[in-house]
Amino acid sequence: MQTIKTNFYWIVAFLIFSGGCTKPKLIEINSERLLKNIKIISNDSLEGRAFSSIGNNKTQKIIIANFTKIGLQTTKNQKFIQEFPYTFKGKKRQETFPIRKPKRNFSNVPDTTVIGGNVIGVLKGEINKSIVITAHFDHLGIKGGKIFNGADDNASGVAALFEIAEYFKKKPTKHHLILAALDAKEIGSLGAEFFLKNYNEKENIILNINLDMIAHSDYDPELFVCGLFHNPNLRKPLEKIKSNQIDLLFGHDEPKNKEQSDWTFSSDHKVFHKENIPFIYFGVEDHKDYHRHTDNYASINPDFYIEAVKIIIQAIENFDKFLID
């Protein structure tokens, strides 16, 4: 009798663990490498990665080295780097490259043209349609003698791009994946604008997935998906995502919702939205370290970040299947 009872318990236990509960989908990534990369990109040596600074230039080289190592392809210009000029004028010129004794209307402040650079890598799919995954790598530089490392904003998105690329290199998608590390977001999404303006098959971009601040969670582990208000048909692939550790919340995209700020125009995805390309933006709520020098590696939440990247990979996989039909 005892044996029968014991067997019965084993059978019940087996049923519970095998099918009774829905297991989150297992996405394997190299978490150590992810954390190592966010640490490198938010290191003091890159001096806050301000647009057109030496640290920004060094960051471009780090991204190119990673894209090369992973084995991504280049776009048609045969290079990972996509350079673009930008001319600082008047007040903006004075804020960035101050002269002594500027006139009130900045009439004595000369224009200065600098070169910025996006870094674009490609994983070819089977059909001629693309999902563009974006993450800006520039940040605020040095202010008041303090380095703004921007670990969450947005070393987190860039290091995630590498892990996404590694994952889909081994598990190819049907759509082309364009991995775009974008420059000059903090001064008005100039990199995103240049990228899209010069993309010669714009009609083949079916989706932009933008990553900006995905590693910091002070209270409840919550990651937001913004964009469904504008593109409600994209809901299903996101509803299929499973996670035991993070609440994936939909919102921050309704202009008339007074309880939640609207993030539709808060990052590079706005450039795609303005061109009527559907976007999905992943990000966290503004936090105590947002746009402060304390947004550094020590203040991110590693477990949250690792899980967020797994969620985003699930989303890409689900969209890749869903958007074929």
Q: Does 268 bind Zn ion (CB under 5 A)?
A: no
Q: Does 295 bind Zn ion (CB under 5 A)?
A: no
Q: Does 212 bind Zn ion (CB under 5 A)?
A: yes
| Smallest distance, Zn ion to C-beta of residue 49, A | 11
| Smallest distance, Zn ion to C-beta of residue 215, A | 12
Q: How many CB atoms lie within 10 A of CB 101?
A: 5
Run of H or E residues at 210: strand 205-211
Q: Does 189 bind Zn ion (CB under 5 A)?
A: no
At 237 the three-state DSSP class reads helix
Residue number, 158 or 165, with CB nearest to Zn ion: 158
The CA distance from 229 to 263, in Å, is 11
- Using CB under 5 A, count the residues that bind Zn ion: 3
| Interacting positions 96-125 with Zn ion (CB under 5 A) | none
| Contacts (Cβ under 8 Å, ≥6 apart) of 59 | 41, 46, 49, 137, 138
| Smallest distance, Zn ion to C-beta of residue 153, A | 4
Q: Does 289 bind Zn ion (CB under 5 A)?
A: no
Residue number, 168 or 297, with CB nearest to Zn ion: 297
Task: Please give the structure tokens belonging to residue 120.
Answer: 């674009």
| Smallest distance, Zn ion to C-beta of residue 12, A | 49
Residue number, 64 or 215, with CB nearest to Zn ion: 215
| Interacting positions 132-171 with Zn ion (CB under 5 A) | 153-154
CB 161, CB 133: distance < 8 Å:
yes
One-letter amino acid at 240 equals K
CB 223, CB 214: distance < 8 Å:
yes
At 116 the three-state DSSP class reads strand
| Smallest distance, Zn ion to C-beta of residue 185, A | 6
Residues that bind Zn ion (CB under 5 A): 153-154, 212
